[in-house]
A and B are shown apart, each in its own frame.
Chain A
Amino acid sequence: MSRALSSRSLSPSPSGRRSPARWLAALALIASPLALAACTADKAPGGAQASALSAPPAPLFTGALAQVVAMRRITESQYRNSIADIFGTDIKVAGRFEPIVRPVHELIATGGSASTISPAGLEQFDAMARGIAAQVFDADHRGWFVKCTPRNPKLADSACAAEALTPLGRYLFRRPMTGGELAAYVKMADAAATQTGDFHMGLQLALSAMLTSPNFLFIVESGEDDPASPGDLRLDNYSRAARLSFFLWNSTPGEALLTAAAEGRLTDAVQMAAIAQKMVQSPRIEAGVRAFFEDMLLFEKFDEMAKDNVVYPRFNADVAQALPEQMLRTIVDHLIFRDGDYRDLFTTRHTFVNRALGPLYQVPVSQSQGWVPLELPAADERAGILGQAGFLALYSHSGRSSPTLRGRAVRELLLCQPVPNPPGNVNFTAVQDVNSKTLHTARMRLNAHNTDPVCAACHKITDPLGLPLEKFDGIGAFRYTENKAPIDTNGVFEGVAFSGAVGLGKALAASKSTTECVASRALEYATGRHPGEETDLITGIEQGFEKQGYRMRSLFLQIATLPQAYRIKAPAMGTTPAAIAALGATPGGPTKIGAQP
């Protein structure tokens, strides 16, 4: 059980440390074979210290590693969550993460499946790893992770190093280390201890190497023979543990999941369903749902969002920071805390505001700090996720709103209907002239722009879904008029006419495309591969989603237990050592990319 686990499952002591009695109580809980039930409310891994404290050390992997069938780079949030879960939330992760490139019309989750790490990116990972390792084995923390006493703290001690590194490796690699891996890391620790005259410096070096191993930086998925389909492969138990944990909780698998994997329970459909059911009922599902929607709604664009402060002086750094958080709070509140229907996410009047957003929404905020719930009046023209300033601002230009960007975002992100890019020789003059004396509103300007039939073809797809949002300016603030002209917010979707953001939300909520899209995205997110033409599979998932009242937990559970999601379609990449070697590491030994231990 990790220190982080203790901080959630038990009341922390004033110093943030758990009392021994409480620690032992938590340990006993986790040590139980039935501990998974407890983990549903707990942090994930938590095994580092449990293993360190319990008599038998964490087991090593015996036999050959399974065939690697896929590798996905972990995201920044997954990295941070993993470190917090394994080592505790007081271990700081400082550094810049090389971004994972999002494939066009896909998710970062699928981009991670084809992502490599550049030399510059690896330097950052290495710097972060050294920083983490230094904290883990500093005088304040080492007691949590090194339960043995080195014979001489100024000398190498292979046995003690092995005892400390074995459980850590299991959590970092999401499987027990092989004997060869452990031996190499211990050798590294011994060499560094000898050179520096400090046993703990040796551990630091070994841990930093583990943290830059592909086995940590990538979610390595391995296949095994599928007894239900001879000749085919299915994900093995440890890969399933990682899949479940990263999909549902956006973090590394914890003790309970790793134990379940070791006992082969994750390839048993009934046992796996029970485990997944408990995981989706856990409060930690919030992290998974947040991460999913951050990916689905392209939240990385918030990092580069900029507004013209002459046009929008009220848009400042505090507002920019609050916008994505408001969207995520709305999403998890509706889908998880209220267990709401996904379709109602487009019409809900419940959201949250903080002081920074108060002036933008022109609503009171009753607390000086933090977020407070806001229920918009029934007659308000703002409702649903599309009425949130974050969505409206993100899909606008820096100095003006954009019905086209907004409509395209609705099409592509929420309906999974890709829209072609504009040709390179488009004349945008009419659209960009926001101070036109004759074309006062965006609709007028777009109508003028669309006299070119080449332009009109695509704008017919996007604009009817973007123009209804025109009562919100480029930062999502409400307006009655544009250039003193009334704003026409009529739109059409799937042959149904509606008006305004509320009407658009209702139209999307009524569309099968909306629910099929999120079902498809969830499958893509879980598996790290684009579902492509698997329309029957998507339809089946959507039907299951419908039967469960379009509840997000049910969708995640359905996908987490979907047998097809664990079948191997991609060609095998080879064995683990070979795959790792292909990334520049040392087969069979410590797997630090591009550097020898």
Chain B
Amino acid sequence: MIPSSTIGEGDPARSRRHARRAAALLAAGFLTIAAPHAVMAKVGPKVSGTKVSATKAPAAAKAATPAPLPAPPADGIMGFVMTSFSPAVHIGKDDCPEGPQGVLRDHYLETLPAPEATRLRLKVNEEELTSRWKKYAVGPDDTNICSQPQLFDRPPTRFLKGKVAQGINLDGDSGNGAGVPNGCAHENFFGPDGEPGVDNQYWRVQGCAEGVRGVNDAPGETTRGLNQFLLSGEHSQVLILRGVDSLVRDDDVEIIYANTEDRAIVDSNQKFLPGASYSVTRTPQYRNVLRGRIVNGVLTTQPVDIRLRQTWGQGGGRDIRGARSEWALRRSQLRLTFQPDGSLHGIVAGYQPLLNVIQSPSIGGIGAATAAGINCAGIYKALKLAADGDRDAGGQCTTISTAIEASAIPAFINDRPAGQKVAER
């Protein structure tokens, strides 16, 4: 919560002040800068609908009287830094009737005859069980289920059974997807507001995994970890919106969606501060250019392939810490809602290559399987079965629709257009 003493109270004069300051700097010859159009105003906590987790956006709730949106800056350029970026969670009571996805130990026991499984579950046989399920994680020639999940033919992990999920209708289909060019048949979701045809087969696979779904309204490890990576700079992301004439309706907006190498500027509670400055990455492939439109305060972009950096940890390259990978979201769309406090909240959706979904435990290797109990091979099998994009010649879809829940707050973003030489110290 921003203290009342530091907020703009929605005074339009403040926006003008910011614009004047930014204009002064620009006039002084500094870089192109996307300015935050308004400081975070004092608002209450985000409203949670009955079917929406604690992390859900107020857009999903039925506000009686929507608060007015601030005016865009005079130059139409707005900057944001991502403050959350993790799988879009929707909690439905019928999602996981068979229980959570479970861990490798459970999955191993399920492969055994019931009497044997019962025997091994006895406390006295714990050591034998541990030894056996850990062996279940390895294969011949020093392979293991996380480093080489595609080499193991394991039963798929449990699928989510619910009908509702967050996401975007990426393929334009509201049926079963069978007729989608280059796609595969799948059971679409309805959105929390009843929108049909929502594509989020990732949630179908991982929606019952406690690390993703969370436990008792607490966010899961995946959510916490990915958002921590935004803070630590491992995949910090920024947005620049250009040509914004209105936050209510604008038919043509350019969006720069990029990584930044700058560490987050945070308060003493490790919360992102609005109005901080970030520079777009020097790596051109992680500077994505999108086009979109704003309708009723919702920015929606046209499908485009998006690549973003993802560094797992900050160590060197000799072990998993510091290993580099990336987010590859094919035919990705953003659907972000402008909030009265100046922030953005919504969905980043697209099709992920299957192995990208489990790249973190894959990098972790055998440790991810035997220490964290992640059944990479089982998840991979489930991903293959649920995959709904980029069908190969053999009829197997190679990507899976995914919805990421994202939030961003106003920031000053220094752009680095491709080919621009920026003088640096």
Contact = CB atoms under 8 A, between A and B. Distances in A.
B372 to A, nearest CB: 33
Interface in B19-52: 20-25, 28, 30-31, 33, 35-36, 39
Contact of A477 (B5, B23, B28, B279): B5
Interface in A369-408: 369-370, 372-377, 379-380
Contacts of A365: 277, 412
Interface string A337-363: 000000000000000000110110111
Contacts of B273: 314, 359
A190 to B, nearest CB: 49
Nearest to B410: A362
Contacts of A195: none
A502 to B, nearest CB: 14
A474 B8 CA distance: 16
Given A364-B33, A372-B30, A375-B28, A358 B266 contact: no
A315 B278 CA distance: 19
A311 B4 CA distance: 9
A380 B265 contact: no
Given A355-B276, A477-B5, A364 B267 contact: no
A316 B277 contact: no
B39 A362 contact: yes
A367 interface: yes
B265 A367 contact: no
Interface in B399-425: 412, 414, 424-425
Contacts of B271: 313
A564 interface: no
A484 interface: yes
A376 B17 CA distance: 10
A355 B277 contact: yes
Contact of B275 (A318, A362, A380, A483): A362
Given A311-B5, A367-B425, A480-B8, A356 B265 contact: yes
B94 interface: no
A569 interface: no
Contact of A358 (B24, B31, B39, B277): B277
Contacts of B22: 363-364
B276 A358 contact: yes
Given A365-B412, A380-B20, A482-B5, A314 B267 contact: yes
A484 B17 CA distance: 19
A377 B20 contact: yes
A314 B39 CA distance: 13
Nearest to A312: B3
A363 B21 CA distance: 6
Contacts of A309: 267-269
A366 B277 contact: yes
Contact of B412 (A356, A358, A474): A358
B403 to A, nearest CB: 30
A479 interface: yes
A481 interface: yes
B14 interface: yes
Contact of A481 (B9, B261, B266): B9
A368 interface: yes
A363 B412 contact: yes
Contact of B30 (A356, A366, A473): A366
Nearest to A364: B412
B171 interface: no
B28 A370 contact: no
B274 interface: yes
Nearest to A377: B20
Nearest to B26: A364
Interface in A196-242: none
Given A309-B269, A315-B268, A355-B277, A367 B424 contact: yes
Point out which of B30, B266, B268, B269 has the most chain A C-beta atoms below 10 A from its C-beta.
Answer: B268
A379 B6 contact: no
B11 interface: yes
B261 to A, nearest CB: 7
B262 interface: yes
A521 B189 CA distance: 75
Contacts of B163: none
B17 A368 contact: no
B307 interface: no
A377 B275 CA distance: 17
A369 B278 CA distance: 10
Contacts of A318: 265
A364 B6 contact: no
A410 to B, nearest CB: 22
B74 to A, nearest CB: 13
B292 to A, nearest CB: 23
Contacts of A379: 17, 20
Contacts of B5: 311-312, 473-474, 477, 479, 482
B32 to A, nearest CB: 9
5 contacts: A316-B268, A363-B18, A364-B30, A380-B17, A474-B5
Sorted nearest first, the 4 A-B pairs with minimum C-beta distance are: A364-B412, A309-B268, A313-B267, A365-B277
Given A375-B28, A377-B23, 15 more contacts: A313-B269, A314-B6, A318-B265, A355-B262, A358-B275, A362-B17, A362-B18, A362-B21, A363-B18, A363-B22, A364-B30, A365-B277, A367-B425, A376-B21, A474-B5
